[in-house]
DNA sequence: TTGCTTTGGACTAATTTTGTCCAAAGATAG
DNA sequence: CTATCTTTGGACAAAATTAGTCCAAAGCAA
């Protein structure tokens, strides 16, 4: 699951099963071109589509979601000069902090 | 620098200097309301504005950028169910991988 | 009260993202 | 070589998001 983009991941799942884009797209009820773009990371799948991928390919929805989200944040951070390790480290602390805070607010 | 949102950070910088929003906004040449919203995290500063903050408050541009980016990815990840540690871990590997790849592509 | 600050709603403009359609380029098989 | 299917990506309109401004009301302190 590591080291590739989300697009690479789903493309590999499809190719392992020797299916053309058209067939998978039909199964997921999305446009073939859309699927092609998702595999090329030029369109983002919705949460719903990620769920369909998981069901169709019989893989973990959670793992696919992690693959997708990590892509999103990786690309976001790479747009800027690279402070990525620091950014992720601080971000993780923020998430922890903000979650606790949210709980306390109740 | 830890544990707060970007808005909290710049608000603190301003309050430490006992300046009203208006004055800082003028100095940065942005709308007062805009600055208020940035402090409340309901509008995002551009890279350019982050630079102005850094200059005006005499703090590190890099640190402010990290504060801003970590906010962005923290909020992004928090929108979904929480797999944040895994997401950041994978994302960091992806950044490394994608950077190497980019170099190799040349 | 007066005057300044802060907050946030409303709204438009600008920008970004989505989804679809289509045509061209690539493969593959006959 | 031809016919067929797959893949790729440009173009475009629609939809969604975000940005920036203006303004009014609430808050605060003198």
Q: Given pLDDT bands bounded at 50, 70 and 90, which one contains residue B3?
A: low
pLDDT confidence of residue B106: 42
Per residue in B9-47, pLDDT (tens digit) is 999 999 999 999 999 999 999 999 999 999 999 999 999
Average pLDDT per block of 10 residues along chain A, 106 residues long: 84 96 96 98 96 97 96 94 93 91 61
The domains of chain A, with CATH numbers, are 6-81 (1.10.260.40)
Per residue in B67-102, pLDDT (tens digit) is 999 999 999 999 888 899 999 999 999 999 988 876
Q: Model ipTM?
A: 0.88
CB of residue B52 closer than 7 A to nucleic acid strand D? no
Q: Which nucleotide is nearest to B22 (CA to C1')?
A: C5
Closest to A78 measured CA to CA, from A1, A5, A2 = A5
CB of residue B22 closer than 7 A to nucleic acid strand C? yes
Closest to B30 measured CA to CA, from B49, B9, B13 = B49
- Res B62 pLDDT > 80: yes
Contact A83, B69 (CB under 8 A): yes
B73 interaction partners in chain A (CB closer than 8 Å):
73, 76-77, 87-88, 91
Closest to B44 measured CA to CA, from B17, B76, B15 = B76
Alpha-helical (H) ranges within A1-106 are 6-16, 21-28, 32-39, 47-57, 61-78, 84-105
Interchain contact, A73 vs B71, CB within 8 Å? no
Spell out where A2-56 has E strands: none
pLDDT confidence of residue A3: 64
């Amino acid at each position: 699951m590591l080291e590739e983009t989300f697009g690479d991941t789903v493309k590999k799942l499809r190719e392992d099963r020797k299916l053309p884009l058209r067939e998978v797209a039909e199964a997921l009820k999305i446009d073939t071109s859309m699927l092609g773009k998702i595999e090329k990371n030029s369109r983002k799948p919705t949460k719903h589509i990620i769920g369909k991928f998981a069901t169709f390919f019989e893989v973990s929805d959670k793992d696919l979601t992690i693959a997708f989200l990590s892509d999103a944040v990786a690309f976001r951070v790479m747009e800027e000069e690279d402070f990525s390790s620091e950014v992720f480290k601080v971000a993780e602390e923020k998430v922890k902090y903000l979650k606790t805070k949210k709980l306390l607010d109740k």
